[in-house]
Amino acid sequence: GIDMIAGPSEILVYAEGQNNAEWLAMDLLSQAEHDTVAQAIFITPDEQLLNAVEQAIEMHLATLPKAEIARTSIANRGALVLVKDRQEASDLINQVAPEHLMLCLDDAEAMSDSIRHAGAIFMGRYTPEAIGDYCAGPNHVLPTSGTARFSSPLGVYDFQKRSSLIMCSQEGVKTLAKTADILAQQENLDAHAQSARYRYQS
């Protein structure tokens, strides 16, 4: 909601297949340049790509205006992770529950089915996180610090108030009231139990 934990910035990039290591490195740095406690994680089953991304990060840091901030962020909170397969990657992603998740592969939609916890998911190689920051459309106030496990991006529902509506028919209440009666007795809440009992004994 509007009072969610916001920050530090996070990005997790998963890549497999044909990818440009320089693009991926810059995607990671796009969050690392925010501040020294931002988090940038790269996951891949391709060791050659992982090494190429590591080299590209160093190359970009040589010219990036906020290189000092980004370098500290990468050193303190960054990670390059080699996984055995996509399933292991999905498990790790769901554990991290990143603010921003980039899925850089041919069938990003298929992989997204296994992702349960992420603030925003950027699908495919041509969808950088920066698009979400500035012009993609969906609200970009996102859960951070692992709160994507139980929280969602800010949306219209956060500005609306709702009520639960419950209505039982004379016949329908008899089943539910018996259940409520039993549970209330277990909690030693006699008035609760009797209130329910009146309905199914009438």
Q: Phi and psi dihedrals of 80, rounded to 5? A: -115, 115
Tell me the C-alpha distance between 147 and 2, whole Å.
Answer: 13
Tell me the C-alpha distance between 17 and 86, whole Å.
Answer: 12
Tell me the C-alpha distance between 96 and 85, whole Å.
Answer: 17
**Out of 100, 117, 171, 187, which one is annotated catalytic?**
100
Active site residue 192: no
Residue keyed to tokens 């997790």: 12
Burial class (CB in 10 A: 0-12, 13-18, 19+), 123: middle
Active site residue 58: no
**Out of 33, 99, 117, 129, which one is annotated catalytic?**
99
Rounded to 10 degrees, the C-alpha dihedral 180/184/186/188 comes to -170
Q: Catalytic site residues?
A: 99-100
